[in-house]
Amino acid sequence: MGQDPAAIIAASVAELKARVADAAAARFGFALKTTEFPWSCDYYLKTGEMMPADGIAQLRPFDAIYLGAVGWPKTVPDSVSLHGLLLPIRKAFRQYANIRPHRLLKGVEGPLKAGGFDILCIRENTEGEYSGAGGRVHQGTPDEVAVETAIFTRAGVERILRFGFESAMRRRRKLTSVTKSNAQKYSMVFWDEVTDQLAKEYPEVEVTHTHIDAMAAKMVMAPESLDVIVASNLFGDILTDLGAAIQGGLGFAASANICPDRSAPSMFEPVHGSAPDIAGKNIANPIAAIWSVAMMLDHLGEKAAAEAILTAIEAATATGVGTRPGSHSTDAITTAVLTALEA
Amino acid sequence: MGQDPAAIIAASVAELKARVADAAAARFGFALKTTEFPWSCDYYLKTGEMMPADGIAQLRPFDAIYLGAVGWPKTVPDSVSLHGLLLPIRKAFRQYANIRPHRLLKGVEGPLKAGGFDILCIRENTEGEYSGAGGRVHQGTPDEVAVETAIFTRAGVERILRFGFESAMRRRRKLTSVTKSNAQKYSMVFWDEVTDQLAKEYPEVEVTHTHIDAMAAKMVMAPESLDVIVASNLFGDILTDLGAAIQGGLGFAASANICPDRSAPSMFEPVHGSAPDIAGKNIANPIAAIWSVAMMLDHLGEKAAAEAILTAIEAATATGVGTRPGSHSTDAITTAVLTALEA
Ligand SMILES: CC(C)[C@H](C(=O)O)[C@@H](O)C(=O)O
Ligand SMILES: CC(C)[C@H](C(=O)O)[C@@H](O)C(=O)O
């Protein structure tokens, strides 16, 4: 013990990011200036906080943040570690668009018999069911009641839906708005109304309203029918883990937390957590982390480098590297991608 | 139009239920006394309500309620039809345990490469995220805010978890409690605490805490690792549609809304809705509806009849009847099951 898997992962992910980004930078002739922050559960155990009081201010000047997974539930409850680092960063920097691509990379065998889907999931990232509003009364007694309040603002709902419509316009022009308006008659009926209003501005986009339960089923039964999905914080969270599953597992799921107006840094991270059970064993799949580097470079304007990384990832997976759990070490997969990238 | 697909489905499901239940009753020597209530969206259009003001009182004397799917979103918003019929029945009769079995019936090809799972999903059915508490301010203006409050009581959480532990004791003694306590720090942390307290009373049960996002992924990646799942109203709703998907589709997903102390009637219904798109075409898969009849007879103490129906269903599916969308008509599948049941 005494070692924080989250820190280990963060460190190795940071190293990985450096290696991949440096290789891309060398090939495409740009330079990245990076600073590392050791904020983690380990840091919490030493200081009592997940990041310094001025952590947000320290991060603000950067163009982008790359986050190694965080969490070490054995000693720091997730509710502490995430509310002290990941979630405040998303909120403080108005990273309201959490973007997660789901498709099968070449050579990867997913759990579904079906293949051939290409989904872009856009998750609201700053409010809704994860607003952090609520409370408990009569705590510890038989009369205890806990409430958790989802808060949806028009500003918040409109901007994420607009982001979704704009994304759909750049893709196959199909947008599925996911709610649960048949059972949540305030928040989700509101979301549906805003969707219908915005839809008028985007007549070229084919809009479908789907309930979260039906949507979960559809991701498994007919993923090829989906293009862009827009969903609330919680629903997007669930659907993107499901998206990760159908694309072969969390080892393949990359993500970007975007502040679209660029008034603050955006943040890039694999969807997976710190995976304490396998941390430090050199068996974690680094592809989600590398794909997230590509998303970061794309956001920074280095589109050719981003595409080259994705091509390199698929050059590796197409030959079977990293496509089955345990078949290759973290290092071996990274090396295969780097080799392809430098080629 | 003018025809309510929900009513059509309800009628044909009622007829189906009658045929199957009668056949089982004839074979096992009991009799069912049934009364039909035409409460539907059609009824709403005529009367302005989904059921009469004393609807709950009319239903109370019965031992069980069999519900054909309800909903006709083209003319009655789901938020009206469901809050006027299905949801109030679940709440008024303290049907707090919504039980949904997920396994592949013989001969059915699911969407997953994996097979061989047998999951019992137990969904809290009366409170939580579907409490119906919330509101909207500044409606229709740019400043609009909508809130939806999930309310969890200790009584509500404890009783559903106890139901889960008891079910696990009768099965493989593995219980997965599904929350999202890393992001919802009031309701879900509370749920986790109650789980840990109850776990002490059931030392034989192996308890796992899993977040809803990871759980969605697990249902697709490793369904065979799951036994009993207990989840909140919303999370259970999502997971059971996903469960339906991996078992081949909503046409195979049965459910029971149980009032465990039998102080009020329990309700049985297929998980699927009224499917307006296919209503009346004689192509809907009746297996979920028939399986729900079996669950009802089991609840009424007719265990042999319930088992015989399930055996009859699998006798039909094993030969390919009803296992692929469109391969057989609703009538053909029903007849195949009835023939097997009478054999
Ligand atoms: C760790 C957790 C709080 C986080 C979330 O739910 O947002 C994660 O699941 C994710 O999807 O990024
Ligand atoms: C129709 C809807 C309100 C209902 C629910 O969400 O409870 C349904 O999806 C179900 O799963 O029984």
pTM of the predicted model, to two decimals?
Answer: 0.93
- Residue B4: is its pLDDT beyond 60? no
**Quick one: A48 exposed, middle or buried, by C-beta within 10 A (0-12, 13-18, 19+)?**
exposed
User: In terms of Cα–Cα distance, which of A121, A224, A123, A227 is closest to A170?
Assistant: A227
Residue B328: which CATH number?
Answer: 3.40.718.10
**pLDDT tens-digit map of B79-135:** 788 889 998 999 999 999 999 999 999 999 999 998 889 999 999 999 999 999 999
Assigned domain for A105 exists: no
Let me know how many helices (H) and strands (E) chain B has, helices first.
12, 10
pLDDT at site B10: 56
Q: Among B71, B146, B184, select the one facing A190 at the smallest CB separation.
A: B146
Q: Between A and B, how many residue pairs show a Cβ–Cβ distance under 8 A?
A: 199
User: Which of A246, A278, A301 marks a domain boundary?
Assistant: A246
A92 plus A196 within the same structural domain = no
Residues A160 and A192 in one domain: yes
Residue of B nearest to A209 (CA): B73
Whether B133 is in a domain gets the answer no
| A25 and A150 belong to one structural domain | no
Q: Would you say residue A334 lies in a domain?
A: yes
B57 within domain boundaries: yes
**What does the pLDDT read at residue B166?**
98
Domain span holding position A41: 1-99+253-343
State residue A1's pLDDT score: 30
Domain boundary, last residue among A223, A246, A269 = A246
To the nearest 10°, report the CA torsion of A132, A135, A140, A141. Answer: -150
In the chain, the amino acid numbered B115 is G
Distance A237 CA to ligand 1 centre (A): 6
- What pLDDT, on a 0 to 100 scale, did the predictor assign at position B2? 36
Closest C-alpha to B219, from A125, A112, A145, A167? A112
Contact A212 B82 (CB under 8 A): no
Res. B71: pLDDT tops 90? no
Does ligand 1 lie within 6 Å of residue A129's CB atom? no
Residue A272 Cα, ligand 1 centroid: separation in angstroms? 8
Q: Is residue B69 part of a domain?
A: yes
Q: What is the DSSP string of A82-141?
A: IIIIIHHHHHHTT--EEEEEEEPPTT---SBS----EEEEEEE-SSEEEEEEEEEESTTS
Closest in A183, A239, A241 to B214, CB measured? A241
Residues counted in chain A: 343
Looking at residue A69, what is its pLDDT? Answer: 82
Residue owning tokens 């549609």: B241
Q: Are A269 and A14 in contact (CB under 8 A)?
A: no
H or E element: which one contains B277? none
- Which of A217, A246, A275 is a domain's end point? A246
CA distance A301 to chain B (A): 32
Closest partner residue to A216 (CB to CB) among B154, B189, B241 is B241
Q: Is residue A183 helix, strand or coil?
A: coil
Q: Is A301 helix (H, G, I), strand (E, B) or coil?
A: coil
What's the pLDDT tens digit per position in B73-93? Answer: 888 988 788 889 998 999 999
> Smallest Cα–Cα separation from B90: which of B72, B71, B68, B67?
B67
Protein residue with its CA nearest to atom 12 in ligand 2: B271
Chain B partners within 8 Å of A221 (Cβ): 111, 245, 249
Amino acid A3: pLDDT: 43
Ligand 2: centre distance to CA B237 (Å): 6
The Cα–Cα gap between B12 and A334 comes to: 59
Question: Are A233 and A265 members of one domain?
Answer: no
Residue A342, Cβ neighbours under 10 Å: how many? 12
How far apart CA B47 and CA B24 sit, in angstroms, is 36
A162 shares a domain with A80: no
The stretch B218-243 carries a mean pLDDT of 97
Report the alpha-carbon distance of residue B217 to residue B221 in Å, rounded. Answer: 6
Residue of chain B whose alpha carbon sits nearest to that of A183 = B130
* Residue A274 near residue A102 (C-beta atoms within 8 A): no
Count of domains in chain A?
2
Secondary structure of B65-125 as H, E, C letters: EECCCCCECCCECHHHHHHHHHHHHHHHCCCCEEEEEEECCCCCCCCECCCCCEEEEEEEC
**CB of B132 less than 8 A from some CB of A:** yes
Asked if A50 and A129 sit in the same domain, the reply is no
> How high is the mean pLDDT of chain B?
92
Residue A104 lies in a domain: no
> A72: which DSSP letter?
B
Q: Kindly determine whether residue A220 and residue B111, on different chains, have CB atoms separated by under 8 Å.
A: yes
Distance CA B237, CA B273 (A): 13
Question: Are A187 and A302 within one domain?
Answer: no
Same domain, A227 and A261: no
3-state secondary structure of A229: strand
Is B33 within the bounds of a domain?
A: yes
Angstrom distance (rounded) from CA B343 to CA B325: 26
Residues A241 and A143 in one domain: yes
Q: How far is the CA of B194 from the centre of ligand 2 (A)?
A: 25
Instruction: List the pLDDT tens digit at each of the 343 positions of chain A.
Output: 334 445 555 556 667 777 888 888 888 988 888 898 999 899 999 999 999 999 999 999 999 999 988 888 888 988 788 889 998 999 999 999 999 999 999 999 999 998 889 999 999 999 999 999 999 999 999 999 999 999 999 999 999 999 999 999 999 999 999 999 989 999 999 999 999 999 999 999 999 999 999 999 999 999 999 999 999 999 999 999 999 999 999 999 999 999 999 999 999 999 888 888 888 888 889 999 999 999 999 999 999 999 999 999 999 999 999 898 888 999 999 999 999 998 8
Q: Which of A307-316, B6-15, B254-263 has the lowest mean pLDDT?
A: B6-15
pLDDT digits (tens, 9 = 90+) for B152-165: 999 999 999 999 99
Instruction: Check whether B11 has a pLDDT greater than 60.
Output: no
Distance CA B9, CA A336 (A): 56
Q: What is the pLDDT of residue B326?
A: 81
What residues contact A51, with CB distance under 8 A and at least 6 apart?
A37, A39, A43, A84, A85
Six-digit token pair at B183?
Answer: 């992001």
The reply to whether B154 falls in a domain is: no
Q: How far apart, in Å, are the Cα atoms of B80 and each of A83, A115, A183, B75, B328? A: 36, 38, 9, 10, 34
Q: Same domain, yes or no, for A138 and A214?
A: yes
Residues A142 and A257 in one domain: no
- Residue A133 shares a structural domain with residue A221: yes
